[in-house]
Structures are given as C-alpha cells and as structure tokens.
Amino acid sequence: MLGRDNVLEILRKAIEYCVADVTQAAFGIGESSLTRFANSVIHQNVSERNAGLAVKAVIGKRIGYATTNRLDERSVRAVVDRAVEFARHSRENPDFVSLPKPKPVSAVDTYDERTAACSPEERADAVAGMIAEACNVGASAAGSLSNGCHEFAVANSLGVAAYNLSSSASLTTVMSGDGGFGYADRVSQRVGDLDPIGAAVEAATRSVQSRNPESIEPGEYDVVLLPYAVSELVEALGYLGLGALAVQEGRSFMCGKFGQKITGENVTIWDDGLDLRGLPRPFDAEGVPKQRVDLIVNGVANAVVYDSYTANKEGRESTGHSTGGVGTYGPMPANLFMQSGESSIGEMIAGTKKGILVTRFHYTNVIHPVLTVITGMTRDGTFLIENGKITKSLKNLRFTDSILERLSNVELISKETKRQGWAVVPAIKARAFRFTGATEF
C-alpha cells in the first residue's frame, strides 16, 4: 500500500503539471488474488497488482480525459498533456458548469487487514472444505475464491482531496452431478464473512434437489424468487433509469412518473453508499461524498441519483454517484437496498398453489428500458411448487417480463436479506411472471 499521503501527492503533481482551467485527477491501485477450481480440483492461483491514473482537463467548456498505468514522472506529464490536448480539440459542452468543490467526507470502515493478507494456503483450505461438501453428495464443484485491497483517491484544482482504502472478498460456486446444478455466492469486504462451508452446503443441497429435471409449458406462473434473482431485477432498475442522465435524456422509466405509483406499495428501494450492510465507499469518482437517496418509496417514484454534471444542469447538488470516466454512462446507484418484509421463503412456498421457484437468472438483457422489459433464463435450480410444496425439478425456462409490472404484483417479501453484487435484497413472491420459452436442460 502507498498510503494516503503518497497517493494524494501523485494527484497533486498531476494537477500541478496541468495547464487547463480546471483539472481533476483520480488514482487507483490495488492487489487481488484468486483461487479457481473445477471438477473438484484447484487449477489456478493468480495474483495481480495494478494501478491507474486518470486526468480530466477542462478548458472553458471543453473537456479532455486520458488514463495511464505508468506512474513515473515522464508518464504522468504525458497523460496530463494528452488530456489537455483532447480538451483543446473537443467540442464545447454548453451544459457543463464546473467540477465539484470540496465537501467533508464521512469516515467509513471499509478495510480489513485479514482480508488483504489472505494467503493462497488459506484460500486453498477454504476451497478444500467446499469440495468436500460436493463429494458428500456425489457432485463436482467449480468456482472461485478471491480477496484483495484497493486504494482510491480523487483530487481536483478546486480543492477536492478524497482518499479511501478498502478490502474485498468473494466466492462463487456451482456444483453439478447427475444433471442437477446448485449455485451459491458470497461477497463482503471481510473474508471472514464469506462462510465457504455454508455456501458449499447451499450449492450442494440444491444440486441434489435439481436432479432429473422435467419440462413444463411456458406461461404465466406465480414465482418465488431467491435473492440471487431479485438482485438482477433491482440492479437492472438502477442501470436502466435510476440515474439523472437517463431522465434528462428521456430514456428512463422514471420520466414523468415522479410522485406517482410505479410498483406495489410494499416495495421501497434506496441507495446508500455508507451502509455497512452493503459494500460501502464514502465518496464517488469525483470525490463527492455519498448521500442516501430514497429512489422508490412505498411504490412511488421519488428520486434519482446525480453526479456534478447532471446536478448542475438542474441547479441541484450532486448526490455522490458519479461513475467516472468521461461521464458517458452518467450517475448510477451502486449501493442499492430493497426493503425487507415479514415473510420467509418457506412461507412463500407454503402459500403457493402452483408456481415456480427460481434460484437465479442468467444472460439477462434489456428489451425496452422505459417499460423495464428484460429477457433471460433461469439457472442452477428451478423448481415446481404445487399445493405449498416443491414437487419436482424443472428444466430451465426463458422469461420476458417487465420488472416494474412484477414489482407491482409482489405478495410477500422475506425478512432476511442478502448482500448480492451491488445490491442488498430479500426474496420475494410475485404473481404472474411471464415465462416465454423452454429449454432441454
């Protein structure tokens, strides 16, 4: 690790070299290690260390952006010069006002020494335990276990100087045998939270339950969606239209809907980059402190997230959701939460006369962003529910459905939530999910 002072010194020099009117420099450096396994055998151990410096130069209303992963003085000067040159040859952006000015950044505990130092031997021991669970049920295990740490800092010539040190750990496993598949994953900023054996038992059990799958006719079915599947829906909403740029460009499902009901009253979704239940980071890619933003409240479209550019267009303040770079994607929520309920997965199944339990989705793609229509497939554990019980394993199904329609028909929400990717979500039971095709596996 370089440490706060050394990292900010790199940014200070880059800004000092720049002859633009206003300059922003962002720097990230990290180490990551991964143990990968397949066919119940570890076959890869890799470690990587990399760094990147990004410079944004502003001349009037012209903006240039350049990056490098070489940190010697000559390379730093060169990337600054490229950013300035790009700015000089760019078209003016009449909507650009300014880069952000400094604001106090909250202290958040995002680093765990044990996670950063986790060795190949420790990862191998954890994987061995997971493989043993697969062997216990006659399944083959595949997946990966990774850990790492990352330093990230942003500074600009207006006085912003923000630094964060974080750690991360994740595991993914798929277990298979006799035509059955089971999946589990975990992610945390602390490797001690992952519980590899618990994840392995989950995947192994589901691989047994899903053996000998049968076909079912596509159609509309009530569904019980595990958090793996729910996270796909919630994250897709964030990508499709919970950022201000999507609204300003007229391609968001929130357009013209603020203050109106767009989901069921039992659905509340927000973004909070400081909540330790997620994967917090105290500031965004412009060094602006994160704010909690209540996006959908009791089914009502309430707000979207902003970066400095989209906020200045509306005379607002950034909510700390810049995605960095040249701003092509605009601001997006990256720490989403869906409000939990009072039910359990067992109660959802028991209350279903005929429906389908979905473990997770695969190869999900967008069809219509404003209508929030997506398509994809089920994967790694799809089951038929009849008269309150799981009666058989099903072959995977293709679906084409509207996220907002389905969230308008949620009957039950679980008390328990799961940290999943960049969302923390419960399981849900929803009516009339549209399955549009069948598979042979």
Same domain membership, residue 221 and residue 127: no
Could you tell me if 411 and 353 are in contact, meaning their C-beta atoms sit under 8 angstroms apart?
no
435 within some domain: yes
How many angstroms separate the CA atoms of 270 and 325, rounded?
Answer: 24
208 within some domain: no
Mark which of 142, 172, 199 sits at the end of a domain: 199
Could you tell me if 304 and 243 are in contact, meaning their C-beta atoms sit under 8 angstroms apart?
yes
| Residue 380 three-state SS | strand
How many angstroms separate the CA atoms of 370 and 278, rounded?
Answer: 27
* Per-residue confidence (pLDDT) for residue 199, from 0 to 100: 98
43 within some domain: yes
| Residue 135 three-state SS | helix
336 to 192, 230, 275, 339, 421: CA distances (angstroms)? 23, 12, 10, 10, 10
Same domain membership, residue 70 and residue 13: yes
How many angstroms separate the CA atoms of 59 and 354, rounded?
Answer: 63
The tens place of each residue's pLDDT in the chain, 441 residues long, gives 899 999 999 999 999 999 999 999 999 999 999 999 999 999 999 999 999 999 999 999 999 999 999 999 999 999 999 999 999 999 999 999 999 999 999 999 999 999 999 999 999 999 999 999 999 999 999 999 999 999 999 999 999 999 999 999 999 999 999 999 999 999 999 999 999 999 999 999 999 999 999 999 999 999 999 999 999 999 999 999 999 999 999 999 999 999 999 999 999 999 999 999 999 999 999 999 999 999 999 999 999 999 999 999 999 999 999 999 988 899 999 999 999 999 999 999 999 999 999 999 999 999 999 999 999 999 999 999 999 999 999 999 999 999 999 999 999 999 999 999 889 999 999 999 999 999 888
How many angstroms separate the CA atoms of 431 and 412, rounded?
Answer: 10
Q: Three-state secondary structure along 384-421?
A: EEECCEEEEEECCEEEEEEHHHHHCCEEEEEEEEEEEC
Same domain membership, residue 185 and residue 39: yes
205 within some domain: no
The CATH number of residue 126's host domain is 3.30.2290.10
Residue 112's beta-bridge partner residues?
A: none
Same domain membership, residue 223 and residue 194: no
| Residue 220 three-state SS | strand
Counted domains in the chain: 2
Tokens 């359990």 map to which residue? 344
How many other CB atoms sit within 10 Å of the CB of residue 387? 9
Domain ranges, residue 57: 4-199
Nearest in space to 340 (alpha carbons), one of 418, 433, 237: 418
